[in-house]
Chains A and B, each alone.
Chain A
Amino acid sequence: MHPTNALGSPVPRREGREKVTGAARYAAEHTPPGCAYAWPVPATVASGRVTAVDGTAAAALPGVIGVLTPFDAPRLGASEDPTLQLLQDPRVPHRGWYVALVVADTLEGARAAASEVRVTYASEPHDVILRADHPDAYTPDEANGGHPGHREQGDPDTALSAAPVRIDCTYAVPPLHNHPMEPHAATADWDAGRHHLTVHDSSQGAGPVRAALASLFKLPEDGITVVSEHVGGGFGSKGTPRPHVVLAAMAALHYGRPVKLALPRGHLPATVGHRAPTLHRISLGAHADGTLTALTHEVTTHTSRVREFVEQAAVPARVMYAVPDVRTTHRAVALDVPTPSWMRAPGEAPGMYALESAMDELADALGIDPVELRVRNEPASEPDSGRPFSSRHLVECLREGAERFGWARSRAPRHEGPYLIGAGVASATYPVLVAPSTARAHARPDGGYLVEINATDIGTGARTVLAQVAADALRVPVGRVAVAIGHTGLPAASLAGGSCGTASWGWAVHDACAALTARLGSHRGPLPAEGLSASADTTQSAKQKSPYARHAFGAHFAEVQVDTVSGEVRVRRLLGVFAAGRILNPQTARSQFKGAMVMGLGMALTEHSTVDAAFGDFTENDLAAYHVPVHADVPDIEAHWIDEHDKHLNPMGSKGIGEIGIVGTAAAIGNAVAHATGQRLRELPLTPDRVLTALHGSA
């Protein structure tokens, strides 16, 4: 092994001191001299056209620099994402779509002026409510992630009707909002002399932001610098360029002043993506011993009229269990709603909630232990593709989790005063993804090293783990390695998403450092003053199709108490065991696993958004109404992992860890509630209204 073993050590977060002292600066915390403030104006109809925008009153307010509207805003170039075609067209595809932008000297002035902009509409009837029997539902060719919309093997309908035991259930997951603590924000500064645009953006990938801005504003990429140094969370919602950065850049270019735009929290649900609601129908057929004979998972979800996004919630059923006859399919309905997008474990999180709830129902129906039922259906290869798994330790996760949790002792539901106590289990899976990246490693004469890569740290600890990767590849102590990330001036890299940041960036950093090590090995004498560098580009290696099916797996266990008086559910214990390749930094990894489990707890119990049929927006559009879990909701959580050695991944042997923690959490909690109460609730979240109705019948 290496003389140093930075990988696998709990190296503390490198930017920790900056974050606890307030020195870390986020996108809206750069105020160039003369900076103006922008405030966007959302549409107040759900469908129709803007017929006029009267900015007279707004423009007359002191300090107002201007009002941009669909009729006079600068024309934009092309964008892959039509949600970035802002103020180009009077069409209103959903409530909350931006129809004007106000720019003023001060934040207060911009906000006040925005409320003075008078917009008139020719509104049209709208349709915003998803139903499983919606007449416009269609089967998309592809769901998110490039997965086929529909897959079928064997004859699931016949197999189902022939199955000795069958369950047939529907589940519903509401729209959910990412709500990172830092609202989306950008500061844009156009230097007319240098013909250069500098943007600080709250983004999961500065590179894609630069590419989008270059195309939209018809600037060369090297004429734009995008910095995403510290990012206050994203969870998918900052994975693509969002309207705020386009509007900030538009205003900066148009008015020739630096412009800062931080979205109000209430705008986020309509403008930065959301997890689309999913309606699931799952049928399982099994022998009396629990062996599955048939599985169908049909998902109906909504998308917008602007851009198709299909939450791939039926996809995990293609990975999980050995079933000969199987159908997994998606149906989408384009509605007058905001465009859905990525939210932590898109597809897997809602899909596994449904599938793992159904498995629990099957276990109940069969009288088989839910852990045992899953073990009995362990496949030899990936069911959908037939490819061998590069590694799959789901059974080990289940077994170890059961042992650590005391599963056997938790199997009898019990009463404690007014509380019903129960326990539940669920499996989890998340794919191993990797994207091409480039990196540069530099050795200085003073013995220090600098690794450069346009990676992004949205809270994962990317700086820290990349230093660890570099230190081991360079065979030097981690303290001698500096890492520069979050800047488009650095070697291009993939975005922080799909749980593939560390794998993608780490691979490039590893290769660059290995190349530098080789160069240093052949170098004779002292290093030149400018040092020595080496670069790497993983385009070839990362794009190579693996003959293996590569996924992380996990098992979640939850114990809940259900208050029979109030219907309130509290999680008493939550435990996850993960098989996610080599864990590169146990401290930051544990934080990610546990953090995702907290988000899963929210999905199970508290997070609830509804589309208002009359107005077309999300009713719960602020943090008072949309209930992110608070401290008091969250017990001590345990996250453990299986020591997994998988040679078919990347030089570090790692799988992604940012998302799998949410995947099985909601089902484990839901199954625990069913265990405690004897009542199965099939719609999330499990709020007191639903729990009470299940316990006592309708009031």
Chain B
Amino acid sequence: MHQAGSGSDPGGGPPHSAPDGAHRSRVTLRVNGTDRDLDVDHRVTLLDALRETLELTGTKKGCDHGQCGACTVLVDGRRANSCLLLAVAQDGAEVTTVEGLADADGTLHPLQRAFLAHDAFQCGYCTPGQLCSAVGVLGEAADGQPSHVTGTAAPSGPVTLTTDEIRERLSGNLCRCGAYNGIVEAVAEVGAGMNGADVTAPSSSAIPPRPDVIV
């Protein structure tokens, strides 16, 4: 965050610094491994910065109030509702969106493969949030973070992702199509280390052309 007059930026800020009391600021977000410099209205959420400014529309807006989880991304490795984060407050953050889950060569993340294998979505609108949330869940469980259904007497150390654990931990991600069973199966499979490697993804040759290109 660079704001002239705030005196808080030892680096002095770039030449485009906003004056004190201004309603815009320049920020740098590291999104899917790439630094993105933005001049943002302070009202812009991380979600809208991703979708409207950076054209990373994989992250979805379902409710805009932290009530559905469709906008879930990873911020500095932790899952968060991007609709409730102001972009200006995330200056310097590392953001991973659904577009950043697969490898650069297009190899899908194990969770993405497992979602395909278990038909873990229908309309697909909650899917990016479910995926990013599931990435977070795997990390949180490995870290030993408890959930509401983890017994109080549970030993410290990694938490085994039973279906009850997965369901509780993913409850911040609504799916109106009701693909919950498939999602839980997919996450359980990856959580158990099977990582879906034995599952064949559908052939890309079957993907139809976009209707827009039809004469």
Footprint of B on A, CB under 8 Å?
Answer: 12-26, 28-29, 31, 106-108, 112, 178-183, 227, 229-233, 235, 262, 264-265, 450, 452, 458-461, 463, 467, 478-479, 482-487, 489-490, 587-588, 590-592, 594-599, 622-624, 628-632, 634, 636-637
Residues of A within 8 A of B167 (CB): 631-632, 634
Residues of A within 8 A of B211 (CB): 227, 229, 484-487, 489-490
Footprint of A on B, CB under 8 Å?
Answer: 41, 43-44, 48, 51-52, 55-65, 67-68, 70, 97-99, 101-102, 108, 112, 115-116, 119, 121-128, 131, 163, 166-168, 170-184, 201-212, 214
Knowing A106-B41, A181-B123, say if A16 contacts B181 (CB, 8 Å).
no
| B186 nearest in chain A by CB position | A20
Complex CA–CA separation, A598 to B180 (angstroms): 9
Q: Are B62 and A182 in contact (CB under 8 A)?
A: yes
CB distance from B61 to the nearest CB of A (A): 7
Q: Are A229 and B210 in contact (CB under 8 A)?
A: yes
Q: Are B171 and A630 in contact (CB under 8 A)?
A: yes
Complex CA–CA separation, A569 to B56 (angstroms): 40
| B132 nearest in chain A by CB position | A22
Complex CA–CA separation, A19 to B128 (angstroms): 8
Q: Is the interface of B mostly helix, strand, loop or mixed?
A: loop
Q: Are B123 and A182 in contact (CB under 8 A)?
A: yes
Q: In the complex, which of the residues A232, A450, A487 contacts B123, with contact meaning CB atoms closer than 8 Å?
A: A232
Q: Are A591 and B179 in contact (CB under 8 A)?
A: yes
- What would 5 more interface pairs be, CB under 8 Å, given A14-B202, A181-B174? A230-B124, A235-B176, A591-B182, A598-B178, A623-B62
Q: Are B56 and A22 in contact (CB under 8 A)?
A: yes
Residues of A within 8 A of B206 (CB): 14, 467, 478-479, 482
CB distance from A43 to the nearest CB of B (A): 21
Residues of B within 8 A of A233 (CB): 122-123, 125, 176-177
Residues of A within 8 A of B202 (CB): 12-14, 16-17
Complex CA–CA separation, A634 to B49 (angstroms): 34
Residues of B within 8 A of A180 (CB): 123, 125, 176
Residues of A within 8 A of B70 (CB): 181
Complex CA–CA separation, A439 to B22 (angstroms): 57
Q: Are A265 and B208 in contact (CB under 8 A)?
A: no
Q: Which 10 A-B pairs have the closest CB atoms?
A: A22-B58, A598-B178, A232-B125, A459-B123, A595-B178, A19-B124, A459-B122, A487-B211, A29-B57, A22-B98
Residues of B within 8 A of A630 (CB): 171-172, 174
CB distance from B93 to the nearest CB of A (A): 19
Q: Are B67 and A622 in contact (CB under 8 A)?
A: yes
CB distance from B41 to the nearest CB of A (A): 5
CB distance from B106 to the nearest CB of A (A): 9
CB distance from B128 to the nearest CB of A (A): 5
| A206 nearest in chain B by CB position | B211
